Structures are given as C-alpha cells and as structure tokens.
Structure 1
C-alpha cells in the first residue's frame, strides 16, 4: 500500500515538473518545464503511427534472432570444429562491435558490394545478427544447465543423441531461457530507435521528422518516450505472467 502511494506521489511530481508553473521557493524563482501543447496535439498522431512499425520490427527481429541464436548455440556446443569455430567467430564479432555501427554497415556499406536492402530489412538484419549473438550465449547456458545425468539416462534407454537433444534437453532448456528471451524482446523494442538513423519511419524516426524542422524536438522526444515507456510496461506485465506460469 505504501509503495503504491509513493508511486502515485512520484508520478504526480513528474507531471508537475512538466507543468510550466512558475513560483518562488525561499525567495528563489523556480520555473518548471513547459511543453508546447499545440505541437503535441498537432503531431501526437503522426508520431504515434510509428508505434506499429516499432512493434512489427521488434517482433520480426526477435523471432529471427531466436532462431539464429538457437542454431548458433547448437553449433557452438557441437564437436564439429568448423561449426563451433564459426559460432565463436560470429558471437565475438557481433558482441565486439556497436549495434549502431552494424545498422550503418548493413544499410550503407553493403550496397558497395551489390547487396542493397531497404530500411526495414536492414534494421531486421542488424537486430537479428546482434541479438542473435547475445541470445546464443543464453541458449548455450540453458542447454548446459540440464544435468548430464539426464543425457546418460536417455542413452541408457536407447535414445540416440539427436533424440536426446530434441526430446529431453531442449524442452527443459526452453523453459529456462524463455524469461531471458522476454527480457531481450523488451530491450530490442527500445533499440529499434537506432533504425531512425537509416531513414526508417518507426517511432523515433517520426519523432525526429516532426520535431527537428519545427524546433520542438523536446516535445517530440517526450511523446516518443511515453510510448516507449508504455510498451515496456505492457511487455513487462506479460513477461511477469509468463514467468509465474513457468514457475508453477
């Protein structure tokens, strides 16, 4: 109860900080921030239309990244040297370079080699490769978390290695890594803002397009921030329910 009351208080103070009120505190003039209401009313819908593209980009990318991460984890755990070394190189390269650089490389550098991709496809590829590398380690840890005794028991029952992996190891590993995949999805939803650098009209791109030419970038960023915050709250809610379900 007390925590809820404090949360309401902090939200009220946050709203007051953007109210534009002027007052004196111990003789010192104080002025809170003031948003241009006319700009917000006029451009709210234009900026908000980027939410659909942001969510679509996040959803397609997390599905592709999950698939890539799973395959990379299997390759990394395999005893086949070409596959395990390729997985290690991929993970090291993607984790060792900034995501922003990867966006620009795919969209602006690859055309020099004859590979031209649109803004959306470039963003999906960049997010897939980057998050696939990080999630590969999550899958690897999830698979290795399954006790080796279960593998030995499966072999004792006559199961082949691939049957053991698909029927015994992976179903348990997916339960372990699923909450982490949810965390990655939430983080990816915010990293889609980098796609505005390659002319994709997602949420951040629309905020820049509306705010910069009209000298109201502050208001445009506030609108975008509210949407990112709301999306994060919604996704966190469903992730929490999923974690409680898996716990049971």
Structure 2
C-alpha cells in the first residue's frame, strides 16, 4: 500500500492541485456575486432547491463555471501552440461580444449610423493620425540627433522641448495650441491644432526612443563608416539607423497605436473624428452605449492593423541584427 501511494504520489498531488485551483476559482466567483439566472434555463424544474435558494444557486453557478474553465484549459493544453492562440482569441472575443450583448443594444441603430461613422469618422481619424505620425517621426529623429550633439545650445533646446511636451497633458496642449495661438495673432483650425499637438507631444516621447536606439549601436560602426569615407549624414542614414531600427520600431509602434487612440482627444475642439461622431450621433436618440461600443470596435480594428504593420516592419529590419 505504501509503495503504491509513493508511485502514484505525483498524480495524486497534481489532482489535488487541480481541485484546489477549482475550489479557489469557485470561491472567488462566489465572492464576486456571479449571476445565477442562467441556471434556471439549464437545470430541470425538479431542482427548485437550487434555483430557489440564492446562496446555493450562486455556489452551484460558480462551481459550474469553474469546472467549465478547468475543462477548457485542459482542452487547450493538448492543442498545438498556434491553435491554442487561435482558440484563446476566439473564446475571449465571444465572451466580449456576449458582454456587449447583455447591454440590450439596438443593432438597428448601430446599422443606421455605422456607415457615417466609418466614412467620416474613420477617414478623419486616419488623416490626423497619419500626418501626426509622419511629423512626429521627423521631430523625433531631429530631437534624438540634437540630444546626442556636443553643442550645448542644440542640446539645451532638445532637452527643454522633451521636458516641456512630456510634462504637459496632451489635452492641455490641444487647448493651449487651439485657444492660445489666436491670442498672439495666429488663428489655427481645429484639425491643424490637433495635428500639431499630437506631433509635438509624441515627437517628444519618440525622441528618447530614437536616442536610445542610436546609442545602442557600437561606436565602432561610426568609426568604420568614417574610415570608409562616409560623411556624418551618410553614416547615420546608411549605417546607424538601419541597425537601430530593430530597437526603435517596437516602442515606436506602441507610440503610434497610442497616438491613434489619443486622436480622440481632438474631439474637444470639434473635429469630426470617431469619438466626436460617436458622442454626437448617440445623443440623437439617447443611444450613447451603442455608439461608444461601435467606436471602440473601430479603434480596436485600426490598432490591429497598426500592430500587423509594425510586425512586418520588424521582420524587414530584423536582418540588420547586430551580433
């Protein structure tokens, strides 16, 4: 008997661990007050002792959900890694859609408004984001080179710029540019003000990313390029930047995605982008949640597109990996 217990000890401990995990999940769901209304549809009418007792029904509901999660985990573990990822994405997406469905949404209203939200809102958002990304990239490259300069004046300008625009909230920058510039005689439109604010703000953050990427390249690369007769500009464009991109691209891609979402802040100055239209269109029939959920899904799809673009660019510059 003792030998049998020793031989089966690992399996017994594994089963005990699984049971403890299920117990912890059950108690956690019970404490969260998980809804038990769905039990009335699943259990037969001959089980009133469950459906009519709130505490028992909550406990049974929590236990069933914990068992479903455990079975789902067991099933996913036996799948290949690729299918594990696909399975997790599908399951979480379905849960997200069920969560939204529980809001009692008016899908007819969404269908009526989504066309205008895409043709006007998405177009404006992409226009603002694309120009802001391009301008911010140029600013970041110039700022990074300036922060690497030995000239005190240039270095001082770069550090002051990054400190100021990283230190102020983006919403405040939009207001200052849109409302402040007319005070000195320069009237600026809402869209140019939003583009300028996004470019200056994210250019400051990306300056540090570019600087770190450039500094990560061994100084011997620059010395070798100089020995071959390349000018400083050629060295930066042909030698340093291609190698630095493998470090610059991942955090820069995150900044681009954040900029896409932060473009919603320009709605405060009346720009007809996704967030502005979602808010105003929802007010027409007091269907705010429908428009907000629709806008959130559009932002998510746009972010997925940027993530895919980022991964392709990373693959492109991966061949410059320095060993």
TM-based fold match above 0.5: yes
Q: Is the 8 A contact 2:242 2:317 kept in 1?
A: no
Tell me the residue number matched to 2:106: 36
Secondary structure, aligned partner of 2:168 = coil
After superposition, the C-alpha distances for 1:137-171 in whole angstroms (9 at most, x for unaligned) are 11111111110122233344454544433443233
After superposition, the C-alpha distances for 1:41-62 in whole angstroms (9 at most, x for unaligned) are 2211122221011111111100
Superposed, 1:72-83 pairs within 5 Å as: 72-83=143-154
* 1:120 maps to which of 185, 188, 191: 191
Separation in 1, partners of 2:192, 2:247: 30
After superposition, the C-alpha distances for 1:169-216 in whole angstroms (9 at most, x for unaligned) are 233234432333322222111110001011000111111110134321
Separation in 2, partners of 1:152, 1:11: 52
Alignment pair present for 1:233 and 2:304 = yes
Separation in 2, partners of 1:146, 1:18: 48
- Which consecutive aligned stretches of 4+ in structure 1 deviate over 6 angstroms post-superposition? none
Q: Is the 8 A contact 2:144 2:207 kept in 1?
A: yes
Tell me the residue number matched to 1:25: none
Separation in 2, partners of 1:16, 1:42: 21
In the comparison of the two structures, how many residue pairs are matched?
236
Tell me the residue number matched to 1:148: 219
* 1:101 maps to which of 172, 177, 181: 172
Separation in 1, partners of 2:112, 2:228: 68
- Which of these two proteins has the greater Rg computed from alpha carbons? 2
Q: Is the 8 A contact 1:146 1:172 kept in 2?
A: yes
TM-score by length of 2: 0.69
Moved more, 233-242 or 159-168: 159-168
Separation in 1, partners of 2:263, 2:231: 42
Separation in 1, partners of 2:146, 2:307: 31
Tell me the residue number matched to 2:248: 177
Tell me how far 1:244 sits from its aligned partner.
2.4
- Aligned CA distance change for structure 1 residues 183 and 18 (closer, same or farther; 3 Å): closer
- CA RMSD after TM alignment: 1.8
Unaligned stretches of 5+ residues in structure 1: 20-31
Separation in 2, partners of 1:87, 1:214: 49
Q: Is the 8 A contact 1:179 1:242 kept in 2?
A: no
TM-score by length of 1: 0.88
Tell me the residue number matched to 1:16: 98
Tell me how far 1:117 sits from its aligned partner.
0.8
Separation in 1, partners of 2:125, 2:226: 46
Tell me how far 1:112 sits from its aligned partner.
1.2
- Higher RCO (C-alpha under 8 Å, 6+ residues apart): 1
Secondary structure, aligned partner of 2:304 = helix
Unaligned stretches of 5+ residues in structure 2: 1-82
